[in-house]
């Protein structure tokens, strides 16, 4: 279907080309998109755009929330039994993730670090999950080391998640200038609700009222458009945000 003399597939390719540039993808994606607009766009959508999109993230989160609601400890039980029966690296990674999702960050970090000592020492997914567990358990310096290593090896690996987690790790380590820079980078490149909320939580905790109020205004506008399903998915994050806001207001009165 032509639009002002330009095929729709070319417009789609242009859209993905802009996304590739803004998200820091390799230059060869531009060559693929402009050489093969239709096929290149399809490949880019499934290889790059979809895995990092809010749609897929929301879908994965919805499935996880539903499963956890029906049986909160099922995955942890099964993962622990699987590792005890067959103590392979794969089963240990499964157990570590189940522990992390169950809120046992310290034990999760211990298991992830054990995985990183073997054949999977350079696995970026394990490094990222280890950094999550380390950040949640307060071991921020080691988490920063893992995240910076990930970024150095592959800047396109989970860019939004790595940037947000690195900002949180910097904040936890007391490196406020680095945290601000990373939060601003994550906002400018990705600007997801999770990034906005985490940045606002940190801004409230550090007394940066100007930044917190600006972010809160945008967050409030976004939340007005939510349906019940979206509210349920983001319930814990919103609760943390409201708590940080309340504590900030109490400290200034």
Mean pLDDT in the chain?
86
- Asked if the structure places residue 15 within a domain, the reply is yes
Average pLDDT over residues 123-133: 95
pLDDT in tens, 79-118: 999 999 999 989 999 999 999 989 999 999 999 999 998 7
pLDDT attached to residue 60: 54
Average pLDDT over residues 200-224: 95
How far apart, in Å, are the Cα atoms of 128 and each of 26, 97, 186, 224?
21, 11, 16, 32
Cα–Cα distance between 122 and 50 in angstroms, integer?
A: 25
- Asked if the structure places residue 164 within a domain, the reply is no
pLDDT in tens, 241-251: 999 999 888 87
pLDDT attached to residue 7: 62
Q: Is the pLDDT of residue 181 over 80?
A: yes
- Asked if the structure places residue 132 within a domain, the reply is no
Q: Is the pLDDT of residue 42 over 90?
A: no
- Choice between 47 and 7, residue whose per-residue pLDDT is larger: 47
Count other Cβ atoms within 10 Å, centred on residue 36.
14
pTM beyond 0.75, yes or no:
no
Average pLDDT over residues 226-239: 89
- Asked if the structure places residue 44 within a domain, the reply is yes
Percentage with pLDDT > 90 across the chain: 60
- Asked if the structure places residue 98 within a domain, the reply is no
- Asked if the structure places residue 10 within a domain, the reply is yes
- The residue to which tokens 């990034």 are assigned: 195
pLDDT attached to residue 189: 94
Which two tokens mark 53?
Answer: 């999109």
Q: Is the pLDDT of residue 239 over 80?
A: yes
**Pick from 54, 29, 24, 52: which is nearest to 42 by CA?**
29
Domain total in the chain: 1
- Asked if the structure places residue 9 within a domain, the reply is yes
pLDDT band at 70 (very low <50, low <70, confident <90, very high): low
Cα–Cα distance between 233 and 64 in angstroms, integer?
A: 9
pLDDT attached to residue 252: 66
Q: At what angle do helices 159-172 and 140-153 cross, to 10 degrees?
A: 150
- Asked if the structure places residue 60 within a domain, the reply is no
Cα–Cα distance between 169 and 179 in angstroms, integer?
A: 8
- Phi and psi at 93, nearest 5°, equal -65, -40
Average pLDDT over residues 110-132: 93
Q: Could you list the residue range(s) of the whole structural domain that residue 21 is in?
A: 2-49
pLDDT attached to residue 11: 78
């Amino acid at each position: 279907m032509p639009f002002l003399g330009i095929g729709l597939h070319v417009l789609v390719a242009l859209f993905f080309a802009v996304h590739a540039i803004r998200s820091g993808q390799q230059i060869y994606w531009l060559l693929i998109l402009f050489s093969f607009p239709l096929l290149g766009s399809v490949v880019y959508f499934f290889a790059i755009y979809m895995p990092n999109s809010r749609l897929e993230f929301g879908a994965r989160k919805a499935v996880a929330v539903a499963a956890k609601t029906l049986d909160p400890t099922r995955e942890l039980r099964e993962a622990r039994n699987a590792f005890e029966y067959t103590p392979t690296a794969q089963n240990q990674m499964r157990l570590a993730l189940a522990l992390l999702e169950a809120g046992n960050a310290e034990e999760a970090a211990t298991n992830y670090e054990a995985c990183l000592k073997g054949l999977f020492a350079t696995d970026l997914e394990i490094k990222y999950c280890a950094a999550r567990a380390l950040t949640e358990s307060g071991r921020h310096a080691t988490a920063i080391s893992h995240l910076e290593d990930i970024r150095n090896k592959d800047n396109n690996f989970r860019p939004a998640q790595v940037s947000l987690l690195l900002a949180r790790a910097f904040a936890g380590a007391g490196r406020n200038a680095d945290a601000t820079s990373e939060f601003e980078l994550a906002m400018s490149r990705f600007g997801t609700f999770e990034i906005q909320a985490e940045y606002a939580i940190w801004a409230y905790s550090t007394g940066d009222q100007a930044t917190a109020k600006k972010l809160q205004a945008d967050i409030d506008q976004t939340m007005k458009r939510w349906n019940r399903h979206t509210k349920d998915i983001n319930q814990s994050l919103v609760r943390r945000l409201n708590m940080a806001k309340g504590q900030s207001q109490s400290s200034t009165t």
